[in-house]
Amino acid sequence: MGSPYYRVKLLFEAIMRKVESVDDKVSALTQQVKTPGVPMPLAIVYLSVAVQKTRDALKTFDEPATASEIAAITGRARAIESMHLNELFRMGFVEKEKQGRKRLFRVKDDAKG
């Protein structure tokens, strides 16, 4: 049957294998999130209510909009909207373009629904 030490060692090794497996999966998802313009699989996409509000405000614009313009609609700080817009960009839901010092965002055509 083995000593209690041996059984604990076997359990610990099994737990470590599971942790490594989970760590590999998290690393793969993290890399996917860090790759701009690569949409995440729908099964793992979750938008917080705050980010949804930013996305919905951006959808009201026919032209690209700045974080300041979005903040005027949502009533939140520009920095908060900038953070949410960049999160949406990393997730592949919006496009970002640079115009001088400004960053303009627009909802991707395939994400307007």
Are the C-beta atoms of residues 72 and 99 closer than 8 Å to each other?
A: no
The pTM of this model reads 0.59
* Residue 10 within a domain: no
Please report where in the chains the tokens 């919006």 appear, as a residue. 94
* DSSP assigned state of 108: -
Give the residue numbers spanning the domain of 48: 42-111
Confidence (pLDDT) at 92 = 85
Q: How many domains does the chain have?
A: 1
Report phi then psi at 106, rounded to 5.
-145, 150
Q: Which residues contact 92 (CB under 8 A, 6 or more apart)?
A: 36, 37, 38, 39, 40, 108, 111
7 in a structural domain:
no
* pLDDT score for 39: 58
pLDDT of residue 18: 87
Instruction: Divide the 113 residues of the chain into consecutive groups of 10 and give the mean pLDDT of each group.
Output: 84 88 76 60 64 93 95 94 92 91 88 49
CATH number of the domain bearing residue 87: 1.10.10.10
| pLDDT score, position 48 | 82
